Structures are given as structure tokens and as C-alpha cells.
Chains A and B, each alone.
Chain A
Amino acid sequence: DAGVIQSPRHEVTEMGQEVTLRCKPISGHDYLFWYRQTMMRGLELLIYFNNNVPIDDSGMPEDRFSAKMPNASFSTLKIQPSEPRDSAVYFCASSLMNTEAFFGQGTRLTVV
């Protein structure tokens, strides 16, 4: 298996623009997680899904952030409108129940 695949690896966008981050989990995994990593706050769980259903989105910072999982092999994290303080590395991870999470390589987002 190729592991968790995220795209793009790097994204530079202007403030106010819409940004969409993409994730393909490991085939067969039924949990999917979105994390954000910043120097100030470290790694924060934004939202996670089980069997494509959002279970806990309490970490989503604002209404500008939304996440979807239309099927078992694809998820998106959207920021609209983007702001400079959204600049961070966003990680997607997937797992089976009660097993380790496998992380993608991350998307480095820069909002200018």
C-alpha cells in the first residue's frame, strides 16, 4: 500500500481565497483524522471520521473550516476564506479501530 496520500504537498494562496486540501487514506481503514501543526500550538486534532461519518469536529477552529468524506477513499479539508493565521502544516491520518494511526506527509499551507 502507498500509505496515506495528501495533496498538494505545498500550497501558497492569497488571503481570502478558498483552499482545498485532499487526502486518500489507506485502503480498508475506517478512521480518518485531520490534524494541524503549528509552532505555537503543536499538533491539534481538527476533526475525525469513522466510516465516512464525522464523529468529532470540536477541534475545527471556525466556520471557515469544513471537512467532508464523500467515500471511504477520499476526504477534503476546505478553508474559505483563508487567512494568514491558517498557515500551518495539515496532516491527514488513517487507522483501523484501536490501532496506530498512519500519517500522510502533510500539506504545508502558506496564506499571504
Chain B
Amino acid sequence: GDSVTQMEGPVTLSEEAFLTINCTYTATGYPSLFWYVQYPGEGLQLLLKATKADDKGSNKGFEATYRKETTSFHLEKGSVQVSDSAVYFCALSERGGSEKLVFGKGTKLTVNP
């Protein structure tokens, strides 16, 4: 079945450092790919998405590019802030929308001032 593998956390960075969170996926078709973020005590929020190969999703300084050849969707940000501290989830959906979202285990990011 479909699956998503994220790099193990936790990740601890200093403010203004560069962030990469690796995500690879296994799917039978051509899924849509997502990054969700979960702030402490809250539900998940969509951060960005990409629906086809070579698409780049971006939001709030975060970016991720849909790489079909490497089945990857790595999350990057050039300069993290303390307010970016959260848990980040990579996810896929074979159906394009939110039906049957398959999530990775999540990566906890802590940014220190």
C-alpha cells in the first residue's frame, strides 16, 4: 500500500538556520503530496502542496518540490524562526484531495533563539 517516510526527529536548530526535512513516498499511481504543520495543542494545518511532478509548493518561506524520479518531497526553509517550532507531517493522497490522506510519522522541529 501507499506509505510516507520522513526523517526521524527531533530536529533542533538555531534561529536563521537552514532547514531540510526529508520525505519520500511509495505509491502505485501519481499522488498529490502535502506538508502539514501541527503547532502545540492544535490540529494540523496545510502548509503547502504539489499535485504533479516538478510542481513546487511554497508558503510562509517553506518550499517543497515534487520529485517523481526520486519519489521525494523534501521540505526546506532558508531561515527558520522560533515561531516555526512545531511538528511537520508529510502526506500523500492518491485521489488528489483530502480523501485517504496517508501521513508520515511527523518530525518535531525546535528552533532556539
Contacts and interface: CB of A to CB of B under 8 A. Distances in A.
B91 to A, nearest CB: 8
A34 interface: no
Contact of A100 (B49, B100, B102): B49
B80 interface: no
Q: Is the interface of A mostly helix, strand, loop or mixed?
A: strand
Nearest to A103: B43
A104 B89 CA distance: 16
Contacts of B103: 42-43
Interface residues of B, number: 21
Interface string A46-75: 001000000110000000000000000000
Interface in A80-110: 91, 93, 95, 97-101, 103-106
Contact of A31 (B34, B43, B99): B99
B97 A99 contact: yes
B69 interface: no
26 contacts: A4-B43, A31-B98, A31-B99, A33-B98, A33-B101, A42-B103, A43-B103, A43-B106, A45-B100, A45-B102, A48-B99, A55-B99, A56-B100, A91-B44, A93-B43, A98-B95, A98-B96, A99-B97, A100-B34, A100-B46, A100-B98, A101-B44, A101-B98, A103-B44, A105-B41, A105-B43
